[in-house]
Amino acid sequence: MGKSGDNIIQKIDYQSLAKQFVDFFYNKWVTNPNDFISNGMFFEKSKMNLNNKILVGVEIINEMILIQNNSNLMIKYDNISALDSGSRRIDIMVNGKMNKSNVNYNFTQHFLIIFQEKTWKIQNSILNILI
C-alpha cells in the first residue's frame, strides 16, 4: 500500500524509522554520548524517567554520559515495537541487554519521538535498567 496524505506519519515507514532511530541512539550512547548535546535529539524540556529518577533536558545527557563514562558499554536490543501516535509522533518500546564492565543488565526503554523542524526528536522516554 502506498503512503499518502498530508501528515508525515502517512508518508513514511514508521517501523523502519523506529529501527533506524534506535540503532542511531544506542550507537551514539556507547560511542560518544557528548554528541547528544549538539545533535538536537533532545528538546530543552525533554523528560526521561530513569529507574524512577526524573531527568529533564541536559540532565538526561549528563546521566547518559555518566553511565557510559568512557567504559566499554555495550547495548544490544532484542525487540523493538513501534506504533504511530497521531500525525507526527511515534511510540517505540525496546527490550534488550546492557553490559558495562562485564556486568550484564536487562533493560526496557520507551521513547516518544516527535517530528519537528524537519527532524525526529525525543519528547519523553522511560528507561528501566533491571539490576
Write down all domains in the chain, each with its CATH number in brackets: 8-130 (3.10.450.50)
CA dist., res. 123 & res. 100, Å (int): 27
**7-60 residue pLDDT tens:** 777 788 899 999 999 999 999 999 999 999 888 899 999 999 999 999 999 999
Residues 121, 90, 127, 22, CA torsion sign: negative
- 24, 34, 111, 108: which is closest to 67 by C-alpha? 34
- The pTM of this model reads 0.90
By CB atoms closer than 10 A (0-12, 13-18, 19+), residue 16 is exposed
Beta bridge partners of 90: 84, 113
The three cell numbers locating residue 52: 524512577
**H or E segment and range at residue 55:** strand 53-56
**73-124 residue pLDDT tens:** 999 999 999 999 888 999 999 999 999 988 999 999 999 999 988 889 999 9
